[in-house]
Structure 1
Amino acid sequence: MAGSNQTRVVISGIGVVSPIGIGIDSFWRNISSGVSGIDRLQSIPIENLPSKLAAEVKDFNPDEHLYNKKFIKVMSRDIQLGVSAASDAVKNAGIKRGTVDPERFGVSFGAGHIPTTPDELVEAVNRCAADDSFEITRWGEDVLGQITPLWMLRQLPNMPACHISIEHNAQGPNNTITSQDSSALLALAEAMRWIKRGAVDCMVVGACTSNINPVDLSRKNLIDLLSRDEDPKRACRPFDRDRNGTILGEGAAAFVVENYDHAVRRGAEIYAEVIGLGAGCDGSSDEQNDTGLMRAVESAVRQAGIRPSELGHINAHGKSTKIDDQVEARAYHRLFGDDAVKIPITALKSYFGHFDAGSGAVELAASILSLRHGATPATLNYETPDPLCNLDIVHGEVRPLITPTTMSVSRTSFGQSAAAILRAI
């Protein structure tokens, strides 16, 4: 697209807080070395949980990443992860106060469901108890006043975007996307539209989620398809014939998304150019419907103006459940025909599990870094091909990235899908 009159959109900063590394250097080092972040759950008791494994972010200290440390007390774990990743991305992009016009600096950030933790409400609930019964009327009469007025700020999904804008004086457009796994890519699409129409020069984009809390872990064990394996080294195996469920995790990734000309003028290091974005929704609750995913990928490829053979890899949604992986594989075959088996595919939830909005952002970070390093990470635990997922799954070892163009794909349980295509500059 060089030399065209169209506004070009690039990635000029990356921040990652993940189970396999905090910061892009340790993250890429571990993912390219096949180091998994999945292990036995350590932060809460696991005796009564059917799925006893998780991918936790270890050695995370928000004090090391956040400028406004006074806000930490009103940040849930999710928010801390997201704001920290954004701070690292802005620093990585070389943006300081005055580098970007505040009114042309915005935020579009994804977030998942942020539950409260039992210890935050246990005292209030105890006050409603009387003679082994629960008196709901006491909640309004007396107990509500015992809860700190700032309690809700820890659960609101728009708070990551709010804290990020305050931290970096980003006074431009500000929005939150709450569309589960597809949130990060939808946020990227929104930022791209704002930049292309000249409303902003620069955006902070990303997503964050932590499923590592008692409420989410209990809920997900009841409603989601989680692996019951005891061996963390083999538990999450996308597209493998013997896969039996996903693993919960936590993490966040953030990106500085910028007008190409603006990035060049300030001397920014550019990681990749965003050349195609697509979204689609199945429009039904049928979990085997692949229409939305097909529309998302088809739109991204058309916008990028490339052939399937020009994709260096697809960073798949790869949730590691029987149905999800088969639906995704079918969508690629319906779209690309015989070319579907020729495109290298990696599935990185095998490293850090599934964590709603945040996992889509961390996967996108991996695809961008693969462009930088010219390599596609291997899918872990892929041992026995599933004949219903006939794809070229990169496994065993890192594979050279032959074509410097990658696509990252996300799909939600209710059928919302998104796809982003990036290429090296």
Structure 2
Amino acid sequence: MKRVVITGAGTINALGASVPETMAAMQAGQCGIGDLDIRDVERLSIRIGGQVKGYDADAHFNRQQQALYDRFTQFTLLAAREAIGQSGLEFSGQLAAESGVVLGTSGGGLNTQDENYRAVYEEGKNRVHPLIVPKLMNNAATSHVSMEWNLKGPSFTVATACASSNHAMGQAFWLVRSGASRAMIAGGSESMLCFGGVKAWEGLRVMSKDACRPFSLGRTGMVQGEGAGVFVFEELEHARKRGAEILAEIVGFSMTSDASDIVMPSKQGAARAIAGAMRDARLNPDDVGYINAHGTGTAANDKTECAAVADVFGRHADKLMISSTKSMHGHLIGGTGAVELLACIMALRDGIVAPTIGYQEPDPECALNVVPNEARDAKVDVVLSNAFAFGGLNAVLALRRAP
């Protein structure tokens, strides 16, 4: 089997329009969550989110492109440009034939759906733009990345709610590790901060009206975010031959299903996914120094995740650092695992563990080192990244410091 490394990373999210900006914000413990600037916000009871403020599509895409690209696709393309640019790869010939794209999203072109439902049902219009379907389809971002960079290998989209990005990156990892692909573009994107998107989440009654405070006693729920994270996964030998900078090595992946409830998390399912990723990577519990938690800020998720970590790691659980960067950028749903992978790279490469901000009071059911409020300097050799989705779908990645 091939060893798989990350040679490029790109992002746009509420914390920044690039990887350096985002990592600097994570290190500083900045909060990108604020008042939503969307149409009909006054009709919402939830009016905060991790929104990409000041975004100007005209600065990046012409009018013809904007007619084809929903906001989630635009975010994906911007992140992909940064990631592929950093990697230095040029896709042509055999490399293009052996490289592809796997991206995660949950809502896909939800902004486009929201706008056009409004036009038809509220404003009474009887026609929509002829490109609405290819603009809103979940695989739009994947297809446009493959076309822009001439990627002719396996390309597809994963939609598994909050685990979409981790599932996508896990599939890309397996494709490169097996030798089926030489390089893969992987990650995820989401933009659901429109009236219909927020209104739907309001109905679940798991949203906070003021802040996302994972693991803190008295936490009041999750906060939605938006953005994209995209990475270049590559064979280690191929990367070394061309002298590429290696950001981290991916060493394991596991996915499980709870098969129990459509919304309530399961300690057993999460624990099996964590243990499976470690087994796939041939890791012992004491090898792991940091876990980027799913950590949504809901009462059910946080205590269930902490219980799963405690079960898997036993006595070593108290020595782990575990934090949730959702407290800073919000929950990007299908794109969240991709943006959170940046915190894993920062821990491995830079020795800086991102904090869980907004932490106020310890919760006895979340009695782990959650890196409260301030980043931690620490030498970390191995990290895990957790994603546990509605529908009981779990996906965990394991990464090592760059070889």
Same fold (TM over 0.5): yes
**Which one-letter code corresponds to 1:257 in the other structure?**
F
Q: Which shifted more, 198-207 or 55-64?
A: 55-64
Cα distance in 1 for partners of 2:58, 2:152 equals: 24
The correspondence of residues 44-193 of structure 1 with structure 2, limited to 5 A, is: 44-62=39-57, 70-98=64-92, 101-114=95-108, 115=110, 116-125=112-121, 143=126, 146-193=127-174
RMSD value over aligned CA atoms? 1.9
1:255-276 per-position Cα deviation (integer Å, ceiling 9, x unaligned): 0000111111122110000011
2:32 alignment counterpart = 37
1:54-94 alpha-carbon deviations (Å, 9 max, x no partner): 1111233446556x874332111111111221121111111
Measured in 2, the distance between the counterparts of 1:120 and 1:128 equals 11
Q: Is 1:54–1:247's contact at 8 Å kept on the other side of the alignment? A: yes
Residue 293 of structure 2 is aligned to residue 316 of structure 1? yes
Specify the SS of the correspondent of 2:365. coil
| 2: CA distance, partners of 1:295 / 1:410 | 13
User: What are the ranges of 5 or more consecutive residues in structure 1 without an aligned counterpart?
Assistant: 1-5, 130-142, 230-234
TM-score norm. by structure 1 comes to 0.89
Output the CA distance in 1 between the equivalents of 2:380 and 2:346.
14
Structure 2 equivalent of residue 351 of structure 1? 328
Q: How much does 1:127 deviate?
A: 8.0
CA 329–152 in structure 1, closer or farther in 2 if over 3 Å, else same? same
Identity of aligned residues (%): 32
Cα pair 2:288 2:382 within 8 Å, conserved: yes
- Give SS of 2:213's match: coil
Q: 2: distance between equivalents of 1:60 and 1:267?
A: 35
1:209-288 correspondence to structure 2 within 5 Å: 209-229=190-210, 235-285=211-261, 287-288=264-265
SS at match of 2:255: strand
Runs of 4+ in 1 over 4 A off after TM superposition: 62-66, 126-129
**Residue aligning to 2:281:** 304
Alpha-carbon deviations, 1:143-175, whole Å to 9, x = none? Answer: 4xx222211122100111100000100011111
TM-score by length of 2: 0.94
User: Distance in 2 between the 1:357 and 1:126 partners?
Assistant: 28
User: What SS class does the counterpart of residue 243 from structure 1 fall into?
Assistant: coil
Aligned length: 399
Distance 1:72 1:304, change over 3 A: same
8 Å contact kept, 1:279–1:292: no
C-alpha distance in 2 between matches for 1:94 and 1:109: 20
CA distance in 2, matches of 1:23, 1:100: 30
1:136 maps to none
Question: More deviation in 385-394 or 37-46?
Answer: 37-46
Residue number among 403, 409, 422 corresponding to 2:380 in the alignment: 403
With over 3 angstroms needed to count, the CA separation of the structure-2 counterparts of 1:224 and 1:156, relative to structure 1, is farther
Larger Rg: 1
User: Unaligned 5+ residue runs, structure 2?
Assistant: none
